[in-house]
Amino acid sequence: MQTIPVGLVGVTGYTGMELARILAVHPSLTLTRATSRAEAGKPLKAIYPFLEGFPAGEVAITAPNAADLAASCRLVFLAVPHGAAMDYTAELLAAGLKVVDLSADFRLLDAGIYAAWYGLDHRHPALLPEAVYGLPELYAERLKTAKLTANPGCYPTSVILALAPALQNGLVATDDIVCDSKSGASGAGRKAVAPMLFCEVHDSFRAYNLGKHRHTPEIEQELSKLGGAAITVSFNPHLLPIDRGILSTIYTKLVAPMSVEDVRQLYARHYADAPWVRVLPVGKLPETRFVRGTMFCDIGLVVDPRTGRLIVVSAIDNLCRGASGQAVACANLMSGLPVNAGLNLAPMMP
Amino acid sequence: MQTIPVGLVGVTGYTGMELARILAVHPSLTLTRATSRAEAGKPLKAIYPFLEGFPAGEVAITAPNAADLAASCRLVFLAVPHGAAMDYTAELLAAGLKVVDLSADFRLLDAGIYAAWYGLDHRHPALLPEAVYGLPELYAERLKTAKLTANPGCYPTSVILALAPALQNGLVATDDIVCDSKSGASGAGRKAVAPMLFCEVHDSFRAYNLGKHRHTPEIEQELSKLGGAAITVSFNPHLLPIDRGILSTIYTKLVAPMSVEDVRQLYARHYADAPWVRVLPVGKLPETRFVRGTMFCDIGLVVDPRTGRLIVVSAIDNLCRGASGQAVACANLMSGLPVNAGLNLAPMMP
Amino acid sequence: MQTIPVGLVGVTGYTGMELARILAVHPSLTLTRATSRAEAGKPLKAIYPFLEGFPAGEVAITAPNAADLAASCRLVFLAVPHGAAMDYTAELLAAGLKVVDLSADFRLLDAGIYAAWYGLDHRHPALLPEAVYGLPELYAERLKTAKLTANPGCYPTSVILALAPALQNGLVATDDIVCDSKSGASGAGRKAVAPMLFCEVHDSFRAYNLGKHRHTPEIEQELSKLGGAAITVSFNPHLLPIDRGILSTIYTKLVAPMSVEDVRQLYARHYADAPWVRVLPVGKLPETRFVRGTMFCDIGLVVDPRTGRLIVVSAIDNLCRGASGQAVACANLMSGLPVNAGLNLAPMMP
Amino acid sequence: MQTIPVGLVGVTGYTGMELARILAVHPSLTLTRATSRAEAGKPLKAIYPFLEGFPAGEVAITAPNAADLAASCRLVFLAVPHGAAMDYTAELLAAGLKVVDLSADFRLLDAGIYAAWYGLDHRHPALLPEAVYGLPELYAERLKTAKLTANPGCYPTSVILALAPALQNGLVATDDIVCDSKSGASGAGRKAVAPMLFCEVHDSFRAYNLGKHRHTPEIEQELSKLGGAAITVSFNPHLLPIDRGILSTIYTKLVAPMSVEDVRQLYARHYADAPWVRVLPVGKLPETRFVRGTMFCDIGLVVDPRTGRLIVVSAIDNLCRGASGQAVACANLMSGLPVNAGLNLAPMMP
């Protein structure tokens, strides 16, 4: 069977590692290039010893070069930091490649908002309208013809999927949404910094960047579209002593009393055709382990009649669904493959 | 030096274990009795091997007997489940002992609310007015003469201390408070149940009992007193894969705009004489490790001008500050000792 | 495509869970029956919520019944405790089914040794010669025609694969072998017992059953065959605060000086055709994370000239390679499938 | 009460942090100086937020200066890397200070062995004979008059205490000792390096430096003295996903058959006057949690008649007993205080 050659730019972080894990056993996408200036010349398995024994592990790391990538791939995954990704994107698109950018550089439609939250001027604002936000449940049709996908952030994936049915159906107030999100440590990346050492994270828990996290405008952009109103959210991340997983507990106010059974039915109908969104039975709540290593987004629903609130809890794997797996789903669609090619992954339990 | 003999009823759970840890090195309270029908006859160190080498480890476990306890102790800590504690309390008080009850049996002033949340009729409602709620920052004076202390729940300790200054000073709306609390696994007790096995908790995270946890009425009772209004909170617990620690992220609405510096000053003044409440500098947020094994309650403050919210984050050690250490602080006060006798504990880092 | 229907007897433990995880996405084996008296009538996903969305999750749990299993399956995995498995095995074989028994009941060729170590008389000793020890690297040919596979223990898998090349080639003394093995907590099973609670295992480490673990005779039986001499080993297990993984550090004495490069080459040649045994480069040592969720057995080699020892370090995933994945590999062979059907799994990193 | 002023040189690592934790509540040693070029000018609590509320947290960090230290302290703890410590030591001794050096610089009596294992020439070999090896169970008398203590390594502490009675009494062969040691991650220090990031250590386990760890010569030096023969050990460290704790499993050959009860009695007598060495009852084995945060060294004993081996298992807290707590014990002795002043610490359970 003919497979589609793809490239990976950026191999030193966890999203690159997760892309390699998924592509190593993907039936239709074949990793043919992996780039890193620092590691050029080594086989990929020298960086990722767990890939020993897989053809992907034998791919020789090269210095990034657009012409070479264009000659050897049809699509490239960019797993480099925001700020750096935008120039790569422009260059690779110009070379005729399709691009899935895992950074934040093309997620915000408004370059001014990008500048305000990321402290950087966008150098390729003309490309912003071309980018499709890579959430398959919302944009599958557009992704099929996209040349550039802005792969969603991990927290936004967990929040947007959790609120889409409630907002689209006008169930909840748009001016009183609080997201209390908790993420595993892989979300912080693989850079060697003291606060992410084992002994600084293990057996502890902390909040960070309350009200100020850069995923906030991305969440607000998509929620506003879904709710048909300008939505400001209170988004508040926390660091869990786990490898993978995001659990978001989202507090909303019902505009009118509604039973949890009715809310659940509405959610279940909304996601009836979405293979990865699992709306849990009433009384069940998500756990990050149930989605570990997979594309699932588990959603639990609670109506608290004492306070008139609908509480939505969602769980995803931040690396797979929240980053690299979602990137592969987008690449699948962009390549004419079924969205779930290579992504029919069973959760790792325990 | 003469020390005060104290007893421990209930040795099989984590609160009993934590009491033993603290009492083992307490300069003025001496453990002289520990009771358990199942383990009677063994020395305490047979149950708690870590106590080998401490006099407390040599205490012989006996079957619980009020007369014997009254003859050998001046104060008894009850570390037995709610429902069971109320009869013990009545019996021990009648025998002339002072009692610190770590269960929920005497925390709620209203026996009807107890019945509604705990599904049990209170068998000793006449004792409820005698019980002092054992939060030293609120009730130190009354604790000095108390015969019965209702030791606070772990979650309530973290929430009440976090909100007391804001509510007493009218800073925030009383009808829009959301508590998103996360607790270590020791809070679930030491009963052998499958959902608390290592492989069910480790490397995972989950919410539970959203809007329905039994600590809710206790929180509301105390917050209502502080706020001078009947307060209903949305209280929502989660389970962390850590041994010890609670971190509560509490979302409130400011009634009028206020700078975070001003809020911080007000909190710092409020707790100026409280040795264990540490109001962190602006920009710093609590971490459970910074309070591990201690009586500290660390409080971080964030004002989010985008949403008009004051976010209060508090961290305690659920076993020490949230249970057994607080019980010892109460016992200190009830015994005429300084509140912090034996409790000048440095956090275990890392 | 026609698939082969298989059954699972025993759904409450981690090996049953892991079988379900693997079979949920196996291309050629289809789970059609899962049995449990206690849970009969529920769909499997009620026990394994992570299987929501997979056909395997919809399988209705039934009470175990040989006739029903024979009518609906061709092969059955027994994930029940030793002692219970032997009767099931006899009954299912009699009903014409093939059986992969994950318990210890058919691993030891000598019923007397079984009785001595397990404290049980074997009730079906006549079946012992029929059972094939399910280690594909050693017994692939016999497995292809086996009706009964005795699936190896987790520790033995890690030790036997580590020592086979050294013993078969006479590199090391047969009378001075020490195995220091460390296992993740899933190896202890899913029974609710206090010593396996999260707070008893997390952030701690302990040895247990030194010199007395029941996997010892199984290791000695296979090593003796490989070494051509009666081998007694000092086998010593420890409990790691991780979910999955065994790392065995095995201390041997070289019979003659040999460079680590030569030992490595000998090992590499020995396992040249074994897809799952990865002999690491000199200077590299295994880590349990590199094999997480997979069939890999990673082997690292150290020659210590100061003491004349060859130290072999092996790492496997105790649930996958050490139990359920290996059972599926055996079932593959017994069913005429490639050994690695459904088992081309990439390690979960991180 | 008059207390003794002490200084801390090196505040950025875990041993410095642990010294601060212990000194913060020490009744007789008062931290008056803490030095760091990089952090000079800040109060210590800016580096160690957990010390907020303790006088030690208010100590102003200064640049290291021997004259200033000599003017303000009587004893200095050196928590700097090996290689750097030797010059500080010479300078501080010359200034009249007593020194407890937590590095390896003065542990080896033979400068040639130091050079061979550490790759460094010793610049102050004349000081080597002055240094007392800081293991109170072996050298308490000499420590009382020492000016320079070479604080033992963490692994050596766990191994030497475990083998001292067996070697001094000639129970075991001196030429067949294998130490399989496992350490928590704090032993690797606090330097920001990728292999010690949370996601690289958590939920995994690995061996490292087998047969080559720098603690080997230190172990051999002390064991040789105890055994009265030149002893070469096979010392093999592993990395545990826990914060604190070392468990060493040590395999020896009995020179003559001996019951485990007799071995246990001999050990118990040997350590009858050692307050921190707990020889466990026959049948019990150590766990790192039972010694967490303390000076205890728990020792479990197993005789395996099948292989003629005595297996000794020891557990310590690598940061407290294996580094900073032991340093304080030495400082106590050097200062005329009881060895356990400020070190009567109860284990943190759970």
The C-alpha atoms of residue A171 and residue D126 are separated, in whole angstroms, by 81
Beta-strand relationship, A29-35 and C246-253: unpaired
Residue B1 is predicted with a pLDDT of 62
- The answer to whether A311 and A252 have CB atoms below 8 angstroms apart is yes
The C-alpha atoms of residue B195 and residue B191 are separated, in whole angstroms, by 10
Whether residue C186 and residue B196 make contact (CB cut-off 8 A), yes or no, is no
The C-alpha atoms of residue D198 and residue D203 are separated, in whole angstroms, by 9
Task: Note the ipTM here.
Answer: 0.97
Q: In this predicted model, what pLDDT tens digit does every residue of A41-70 receive, in sequence order? A: 999 999 999 999 999 999 999 999 999 999
Which helix (H) or strand (E) segment holds residue C201: the answer is helix C198-201
The tokens describing A215, both together, are 């995923």
Q: In this predicted model, what pLDDT tens digit does every residue of C20-63 receive, in sequence order? A: 999 999 999 999 999 999 899 999 999 999 999 999 999 999 99
C278 and C241 in a single domain? The answer is: yes
The C-alpha atoms of residue B302 and residue A238 are separated, in whole angstroms, by 14
- Does any domain span residue C9? yes
The tokens describing D102, both together, are 């937590």
**Residue C1 above 90 pLDDT?**
no
Residue (of B130, B35, B30, B36) closest to B90 by Cα position: B130
**In the structure, what pLDDT confidence band is assigned to residue D1 with cuts at 50, 70 and 90?**
low
**Chain B interface mutation, best of A206, A213, A291, highest count of B Cβ atoms under 10 Å:** A206
Residue (of B237, B250, B229) closest to B167 by Cα position: B229
The chain-wide mean pLDDT, for chain B, equals 97
C96 and C177 in a single domain? The answer is: no
The C-alpha atoms of residue A117 and residue A156 are separated, in whole angstroms, by 15
- What pTM was estimated for this model as a whole? 0.97
Average pLDDT on B146-161 reads 98
Tell me the chain C residues in contact with residue B198 when contact means C-beta distances shorter than 8 Å. Answer: 185, 196-198, 200-202, 241, 243
Could you confirm whether D154 is annotated as catalytic?
Answer: yes
Average pLDDT on B37-51 reads 94
- The answer to whether B231 and B174 have CB atoms below 8 angstroms apart is yes
Q: Which residues contact B275 (CB under 8 A, 6 or more apart)?
A: B339, B340, D53
A165 and A306 in a single domain? The answer is: yes
* Catalytic residue (choose from D73, D154, D179, D330): D154
Beta-strand relationship, B309-316 and C178-183: unpaired
D42 and D188 in a single domain? The answer is: no
The C-alpha atoms of residue C170 and residue D116 are separated, in whole angstroms, by 34
The C-alpha atoms of residue B246 and residue B319 are separated, in whole angstroms, by 9
Q: In this predicted model, what pLDDT tens digit does every residue of B72-83 receive, in sequence order? A: 999 999 999 999
Q: Which residues contact B79 (CB under 8 A, 6 or more apart)?
A: B8, B9, B10, B11, B13, B15, B16, B19, B102, B324
Tell me the chain A residues in contact with residue D203 when contact means C-beta distances shorter than 8 Å. Answer: 243
The C-alpha atoms of residue B252 and residue B177 are separated, in whole angstroms, by 5
D182 and D109 in a single domain? The answer is: no
- Does any domain span residue C216? yes
Residue (of B276, B317, B323) closest to B293 by Cα position: B317
Give me the number of domains chain C comprises: 2
Residue B279 is predicted with a pLDDT of 98
| Residues in B lying within 8 Å of C, measured between beta carbons | 14, 185-186, 190, 192-194, 196-203, 241-243
The C-alpha atoms of residue C329 and residue C335 are separated, in whole angstroms, by 10
Q: In this predicted model, what pLDDT tens digit does every residue of C262-290 receive, in sequence order? A: 999 999 999 999 999 999 999 999 999 99
Whether residue C24 and residue A346 make contact (CB cut-off 8 A), yes or no, is yes
Alpha-carbon torsion, ordered A168, A172, A178, A182, to 10 deg: -60
Average pLDDT on D27-32 reads 98
Q: In this predicted model, what pLDDT tens digit does every residue of C282-312 receive, in sequence order? A: 999 999 999 999 999 999 999 999 999 999 9
| Residues in D lying within 8 Å of A, measured between beta carbons | 14, 185-186, 190-194, 196-203, 241-243
Backbone dihedral angles phi then psi of residue A50, each to the nearest 5 degrees: -70, -10
Residue for token pair 């490595």: C264
Whether residue D50 and residue B291 make contact (CB cut-off 8 A), yes or no, is yes
- The answer to whether D90 and D124 have CB atoms below 8 angstroms apart is yes
The parent domain of residue A24 ranges over 4-130
C115 and C183 in a single domain? The answer is: no
| Among C130, C146, C179, residue at a domain's last position | C130
Whether residue A205 and residue B242 make contact (CB cut-off 8 A), yes or no, is yes
Whether residue D193 and residue A196 make contact (CB cut-off 8 A), yes or no, is no
The C-alpha atoms of residue B261 and residue B272 are separated, in whole angstroms, by 16
The tokens describing C10, both together, are 């025993």
- The answer to whether D201 and A198 have CB atoms below 8 angstroms apart is yes
| Among C130, C165, C188, residue at a domain's last position | C130
B113 and B245 in a single domain? The answer is: no
**Residue D82 above 70 pLDDT?**
yes
C166 and C281 in a single domain? The answer is: yes
Q: Name the neighbours of D, counting chains with at least 3 Cβ pairs within 8 A.
A: A, B, C
Tally the residues of chain C.
350
| Residues in C lying within 8 Å of A, measured between beta carbons | 14, 17-18, 21-22, 24-25, 48-54, 186, 202-203, 243-244, 275-276, 278, 280, 284, 289-293, 296, 298, 344-350
Average pLDDT on B2-31 reads 96
The C-alpha atoms of residue A51 and residue B146 are separated, in whole angstroms, by 66
C285 and C189 in a single domain? The answer is: yes
**Residue D153 above 90 pLDDT?**
yes
Residue for token pair 């292809």: C144
Judged by DSSP in three states, D56 sits in helix
The C-alpha atoms of residue A44 and residue A52 are separated, in whole angstroms, by 9
- Does any domain span residue C210? yes
Residue (of A297, A322, A326) closest to A312 by Cα position: A297
DSSP sequence for D325-350 = HHHHHHHHHHTTS-TTTT--PPP---
Judged by DSSP in three states, D250 sits in strand
- The answer to whether B315 and B158 have CB atoms below 8 angstroms apart is yes
The chain-wide mean pLDDT, for chain C, equals 97
Backbone dihedral angles phi then psi of residue B40, each to the nearest 5 degrees: -55, 140
Neighbours of B246 (CB within 10 A): 30
The C-alpha atoms of residue C96 and residue C105 are separated, in whole angstroms, by 19
Whether residue A190 and residue D196 make contact (CB cut-off 8 A), yes or no, is no
Judged by DSSP in three states, C250 sits in strand
Backbone dihedral angles phi then psi of residue D159, each to the nearest 5 degrees: -85, -40
Amino acid residing at A108: L
A60 and A199 in a single domain? The answer is: no
CATH number of the structural domain spanning residue A201: 3.30.360.10
Nearest-CB residue to D203 (from B203, B290, B298): B203
CATH number of the structural domain spanning residue A33: 3.40.50.720
Amino acid residing at C94: A
Q: In this predicted model, what pLDDT tens digit does every residue of C193-204 receive, in sequence order? A: 999 999 999 999
Whether residue B198 and residue C193 make contact (CB cut-off 8 A), yes or no, is no
B37 and B112 in a single domain? The answer is: yes
Q: Name the neighbours of B, counting chains with at least 3 Cβ pairs within 8 A.
A: A, C, D
**In the structure, what pLDDT confidence band is assigned to residue A1 with cuts at 50, 70 and 90?**
low
- By C-alpha distance, the chain D residue nearest B190 is D350
- Does any domain span residue B264? yes
The C-alpha atoms of residue C224 and residue C216 are separated, in whole angstroms, by 12
Beta strands (DSSP E) in chain A are 4-9, 29-35, 61-62, 75-78, 98-101, 132-133, 148-150, 178-183, 206-207, 234-239, 246-253, 277-279, 297-304, 309-316
**DSSP summary character for residue A324:** I
Residue A69 is predicted with a pLDDT of 97
Whether residue A202 and residue D202 make contact (CB cut-off 8 A), yes or no, is yes
CA torsion sign for B29, B31, B33, B38 is: positive
Tell me the chain B residues in contact with residue A204 when contact means C-beta distances shorter than 8 Å. Answer: 242, 245, 287-289, 292
**Chain B interface mutation, best of C199, C317, C319, highest count of B Cβ atoms under 10 Å:** C199
Average pLDDT on A78-105 reads 98
- The answer to whether B71 and B47 have CB atoms below 8 angstroms apart is no
Average pLDDT on D174-193 reads 97
**DSSP summary character for residue D309:** E
Q: In this predicted model, what pLDDT tens digit does every residue of C83-113 receive, in sequence order? A: 999 999 999 999 999 999 999 999 999 999 9
Judged by DSSP in three states, C323 sits in helix
- Does any domain span residue B52? yes
Please state, in angstroms and as integers, the Cα–Cα distance from residue C177 to each residue in C166, C213, D309, following that order: 12, 16, 11
Rg (CA), chain D: 20
Q: In this predicted model, what pLDDT tens digit does every residue of D89-119 receive, in sequence order? A: 999 999 999 999 999 999 999 999 999 999 9
Q: In this predicted model, what pLDDT tens digit does every residue of B107-150 receive, in sequence order? A: 999 999 999 999 999 999 999 999 999 999 999 999 999 999 99
D169 and D283 in a single domain? The answer is: yes
Q: In this predicted model, what pLDDT tens digit does every residue of C4-23 receive, in sequence order? A: 999 999 999 999 999 999 99
- The answer to whether A186 and A318 have CB atoms below 8 angstroms apart is yes
- The answer to whether A51 and A67 have CB atoms below 8 angstroms apart is no
Q: How far is C162 from chain A (nearest CA, A)?
A: 18
- The answer to whether B89 and B9 have CB atoms below 8 angstroms apart is no
Judged by DSSP in three states, A183 sits in strand
**In the structure, what pLDDT confidence band is assigned to residue D228 with cuts at 50, 70 and 90?**
very high
Average pLDDT on A122-133 reads 98
Region of C170 please: left (phi>0), alpha (psi -120 to 50) or beta: left
Residue for token pair 């004979």: D129
Whether residue A197 and residue D200 make contact (CB cut-off 8 A), yes or no, is no
Tell me the chain D residues in contact with residue A203 when contact means C-beta distances shorter than 8 Å. Answer: 243
Residue A11 is predicted with a pLDDT of 93
Backbone dihedral angles phi then psi of residue D99, each to the nearest 5 degrees: -135, 135
Residue (of A311, A245, A234, C204) closest to B240 by Cα position: A245
Which helix (H) or strand (E) segment holds residue A21: the answer is helix A14-23
Residue D2 is predicted with a pLDDT of 86
Residue D299 is predicted with a pLDDT of 98
Residue C2 is predicted with a pLDDT of 86
The chain-wide mean pLDDT, for chain A, equals 97
**Residue B39 above 80 pLDDT?**
yes
